[in-house]
Structures are given as structure tokens and as C-alpha cells.
């Protein structure tokens, strides 16, 4: 069986880490199996859907490397949903209801007050044609409910194992609103069936919805996909992610602006909530080969920005010069392979490289606390072009002349040559700074 999965973002906002984690699980699963990844734009809400959000979501997915094999829009498929609607009506499984929200809420309160489950009582099924005509003459527009079987729906979930939903405990779901707008449930089933989606991989908040959708699949005579429901993504504290978080710092757009690498985001999201350690991976196909539903735990996956920073840094530390060179050039920080090898262990974000390029190029303000020590060191800088061995020879000469050792030897040299108390190993930096600038800085000159 050829595997085909889908993600179905609604173009009503920006993508966030929760969306991406679900998309990533779909992408990893199907790519590891040589299958297809579908992008389905769930834009049936014509009032709230925006082209700018659709464009931004696709830009974010491309930036992350989660490209798709096929794409479609629900807004182009209303005729297919109408056909499914008519089929269900013909089978007596989709029926019109005329209660207002206030009337439904009153029914719920009465049910709760009498210790009955607050599920819809199917009163609309008892309406006569004349009663329906009267309600419509009053201006009421029906919403349409799917008639559940009242039986137990069972399936084997690829993450959660055996699942069972008692549909007698559920209200018949509304599939079509009073204004004629299709809600998520019916179009999703129609699309999954007609696009031959083999696996529906989504969050565990859809488990109950899956019980309903399985009955709709069967009512339409469609083949059932397999289902996998993963625990949701939460904050590092274990609390639910707030809308403010998701629309702010945890939107993909803002993570990108903050300087996180796409592979760092994917590495982090792929491993949180699993039995694997959260570690950087150098390419997405490696992540795909390591993906398995069996590794996904039952606890919520904790998204931790501090941990993401560590993964981001680790990814840069393993990145080779050739892979990053065009981006270094764009930052005006391409000083060659030796420079990249020297500074990458000290980077958290790629943009950090510009500060080190500025230190190598100069001019900088040297930090000198002991002018006599620095002047003595200036006279000991090796002749000619500095190389990887120059630093150790230089340090030994300074030690022999001044008697300084340990931190009292190394820190004043670092401060004079870089203006900082910390940074990459001095051997490579010393060679990159060069003899003339090194002497000038040790003399206290801006160079």
C-alpha cells in the first residue's frame, strides 16, 4: 500500500510549533516509507480565511523543508461536499435542526440539573413537515446534524493502541451550520476518502472526533484510513501553550526572525515527547529514519525554548563551512574556512558570527589592565605570517619573559587581542588577527 498523509492548516493565522509538530510527524512518517505528503488548505471558512496567511504558512513550511507532493483547497470542492451531504440526507443520517443557541443551552442546563448527560435529545427528528415549514417561515435556518449509531466505535490507534468511543454518550454532531457553512468534520472525511489518505496523524484532542468520523466514513461507503493521535505540545512548565505564546514567540515566523535554524526546530520537535534524546540532526532524512510511532510517549511533549537554543547551538557547531558559506557571505562575515572552524563552537545563532568577524577584522578597543605586560608581549609576537603553531610559541615566550602563568598569562592576552574576557580558542584567532593587528592591539592601539 502506498502511504499518503496530509496536513490541513486553516489560513486564519500563522503556523506555530504545535502545528509544525503535527506536520512534521506526518512528513517524517511518509518520507521514511517513500510515500506522499499532501497540503490541504482548509479554507471553508471564507470569511476568516486570508491569502496572506496561506502564503505565510506555505513559506514557513518551505523554510522548514516540509515540502509537499500535492496540494488542494477545500474552497474548490464544495460540490463534492454537497454530494456527500445529499447522500447522507438520502440515507436519513443527516437531519435539519432549528433550535437556537439559547434553546440548546437551556436544554443542556436542564439535563445537567436532572443528572442526565447534556447531549442533544434529537427533538428535531420528531418534527413534522408542517412544523419545519412553520419554523422556516419564521426565518429560522436549519443546522444539520449527523445521526450517530449509538453504538461503540473501535479502532487500533498507531500511538494510543486500542481505542473505543461510545457514540451513545455523544450529541449528534453538527456538520453544517445554519448559514450553510460546512464545519470541519464532513469536508475532512470527504477529502481523506477521495484523496486516498492512508494515515491520519494528528493531536489527541481529535480522538472523540475520530469516533464520529469513522461512522461518517462508513456511511459514505469510504475506506477507512489508519489513525494516530499524539499527545499535545505544551510549555516547558507542563502548562498548555497560550494563544499569546503561539501567535508570538512560538510562531514559526517569529522563531525564524529570532535566528533559529530550521533543522534545530525540526530536531527539537521530532524528539520531544519521545524516548529519543533531544539532539541536533544534520538533515531531515536522518530524523525521518529515526522516527517511529512506538517511540512516542503518552505524556504531553514539552516545548522548551532554552532546550531549543542548545539544539540550535549544537547544530551550528556541527555545520561544515561549505554548507554555511553563502549565508556567511550574506552576513558579510565570510572570512574563510579557518575562521568558521575557529568561531563556530561559540555560536548559538548564526548571526553571532558577525561579532567575531568584526573582532578579527578590527578595529577594536583593546582591554589592557597592565600596560607593561602588554608592551612586553607586543615585542614577542612571532615574525612573518602567523599560523596555527604561532600562538603556543608566543605564549611560551611571554611566559618566559614576564613570569606570568595560568589565568594571569592567558586572560590579559585575550583581553588585549579581542577586547573580551571570553571567546573561541585563541590559537586560531591569533592567526586570523595577524601579526600587525596583534602588535598594535597589545600596544593599546585601536586596530
- Cis-peptide into 77, omega within 30 deg: no
How many angstroms separate the CA atoms of 435 and 382, rounded?
7
CATH of span 77-230 = 3.40.50.620
Q: What backbone torsions phi and psi does residue 427 show, to the nearest 5 degrees? A: -55, -55
Residue in 271, 265, 255, 262 with CA at minimum distance from that of residue 323: 262
Topology agreement, domain 4-75+232-313 and domain 77-230: yes
Question: What pLDDT, on a 0 to 100 scale, did the predictor assign at position 283?
Answer: 93
According to the 3-state scheme, what is the secondary structure of 76-137? Answer: HCHHHHHHHHHHHHHCCCEEEECCCHHHHHHHHHHHHHCCCCCCCCCHHHHCCHHHHHHHHH
Collect the ranges in the chain with pLDDT lower than 70: 1
Please report, to the nearest 10 degrees, the dihedral formed by the alpha carbons of residues 93, 96, 102, 106 taken in order. Answer: -50
List pLDDT tens digits, range 5-63.
999 999 999 999 999 999 999 999 999 999 999 999 999 998 899 999 999 999 999 99
Q: How far is residue 169 from each of residues 88, 151, 201, 246, measured CA to CA in Å?
A: 22, 9, 25, 33
Cell output for 212? 464520529
Domain spanning 4-75+232-313, CATH class: alpha beta
Domain extents in the chain: 4-75+232-313, 77-230, 319-361, 371-442
124 close to 95: Cβ distance less than 8 angstroms: yes
Quick check: 11 and 58 in contact, CB under 8 A? Answer: no
> Helical H runs in 239-292?
243-247, 252-258, 262-271, 284-290
Going edge to edge, which strands form the sheet with 70-73? 4-7, 36-41, 70-73
pTM of this prediction?
0.93
At 209, which helix (H) or strand (E)? Answer: helix 207-219
The set of residues, in sequence order, having a beta carbon less than 8 Å from that of 305 and lying 6+ positions away, is 236, 249, 250
Q: Which three cell numbers stand for residue 112?
A: 445537567
How do residues 329-381 score in pLDDT, each as one tens digit? 999 999 999 999 999 999 999 999 999 999 999 999 999 999 999 999 999 99
The predicted pLDDT at position 1 comes to: 63
Q: Which residues contact 399 (CB under 8 A, 6 or more apart)?
A: 405, 409
Give the residue from 146, 100, 156, 102 showing the smallest Cα distance to 125: 146
- Decide: 437 and 369 in contact? Cβ < 8 Å: no
DSSP bridge partners of 446: none
pLDDT at position 264: 98
Please give the Cα distance from 84 to 225 (Å, whole number).
18
Amino acid at each position: 500500500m502506498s502511504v499518503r498523509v496530509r496536513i490541513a492548516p486553516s489560513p486564519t493565522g500563522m503556523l506555530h510549533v504545535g502545528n509544525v509538530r503535527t506536520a512534521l510527524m506526518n512528513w517524517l512518517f511518509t518520507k521514511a516509507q517513500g510515500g506522499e505528503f499532501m497540503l490541504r488548505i482548509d479554507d471553508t471558512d471564507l470569511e476568516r480565511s486570508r491569502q496572506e496567511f496561506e502564503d505565510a504558512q506555505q513559506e514557513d513550511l518551505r523554510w522548514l523543508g516540509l515540502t509537499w507532493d500535492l496540494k488542494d483547497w477545500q474552497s474548490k470542492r464544495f460540490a463534492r461536499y454537497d454530494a456527500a451531504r445529499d447522500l447522507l440526507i438520502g440515507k436519513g443520517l443527516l437531519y435539519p435542526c432549528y433550535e437556537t443557541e439559547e434553546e440548546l443551552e437551556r436544554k443542556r442546563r436542564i439535563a445537567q440539573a436532572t443528572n442526565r448527560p447534556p447531549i442533544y435529545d434529537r427533538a428535531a427528528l420528531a418534527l413534522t413537515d408542517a412544523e419545519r415549514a412553520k419554523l422556516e417561515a419564521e426565518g429560522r435556518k436549519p443546522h444539520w446534524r449527523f445521526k450517530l449509531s449509538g453504538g461503540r466505535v473501535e479502532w487500533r490507534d498507531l500511538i494510543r493502541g486500542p481505542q473505543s468511543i461510545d457514540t451513545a454518550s455523544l450529541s449528534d454532531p453538527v456538520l453544517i451550520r445554519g448559514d450553510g457553512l460546512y464545519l470541519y468534520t464532513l469536508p475532512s472525511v470527504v477529502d481523506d476518502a477521495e484523496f486516498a489518505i492512508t494515515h491520519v496523524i494528528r493531536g489527541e484532542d481529535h480522538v472523540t472526533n475520530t469516533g464520529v468520523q469513522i461512522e461518517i466514513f462508513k456511511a459514505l461507503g469510504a475506506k477507512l484510513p489508519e489513525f494516530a493521535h499524539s499527545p499535545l505540545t505544551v510549555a516547558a512548565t507542563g502548562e498548555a501553550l497560550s494563544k499569546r505564546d503561539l501567535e508570538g514567540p512560538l510562531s514559526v515566523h517569529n522563531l525564524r526572525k529570532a535566528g533559529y535554524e530550521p533543522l534545530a526546530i525540526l530536531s527539537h520537535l521530532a524528539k520531544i515527547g519521545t524516548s529519543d534524546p533531544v539532539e541536533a540532526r544534520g538533515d531531515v532524512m536522518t530524523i525521518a529514519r529515526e522516527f517511529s510511532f512506538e517511540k512516542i510517549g503518552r505524556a504531553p511533549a514539552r516545548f522548551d525554548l532554552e532546550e531549543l537554543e542548545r539544539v540550535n547551538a549544537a547544530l551550528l557547531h556541527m555545520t561544515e563551512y561549505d554548507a554555511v558559506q553563502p549565508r556567511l557571505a550574506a552576513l558579510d562575515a565570510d572570512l574563510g574556512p579557518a575562521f568558521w572552524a575557529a568561531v563556530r563552537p561559540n555560536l548559538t545563532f548564526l548571526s553571532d558570527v558577525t561579532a567575531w568577524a568584526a573582532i578579527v577584522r578590527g578595529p577594536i578597543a583593546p582591554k589592557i589592565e597592565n600596560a607593561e605586560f602588554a608592551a612586553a608581549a607586543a615585542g614577542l609576537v612571532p615574525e612573518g605570517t602567523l599560523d596555527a603553531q604561532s600562538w603556543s610559541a608566543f605564549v611560551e615566550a611571554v611566559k618566559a619573559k614576564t613570569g606570568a602563568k595560568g589565568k594571569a598569562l592567558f586572560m590579559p592576552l585575550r583581553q588585549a587581542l579581542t577586547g573580551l574576557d571570553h571567546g573561541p580558542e585563541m590559537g586560531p584567532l591569533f592567526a586570523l588577527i595577524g601579526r600587525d593587528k596583534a602588535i598594535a592591539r597589545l600596544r593599546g592601539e585601536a586596530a
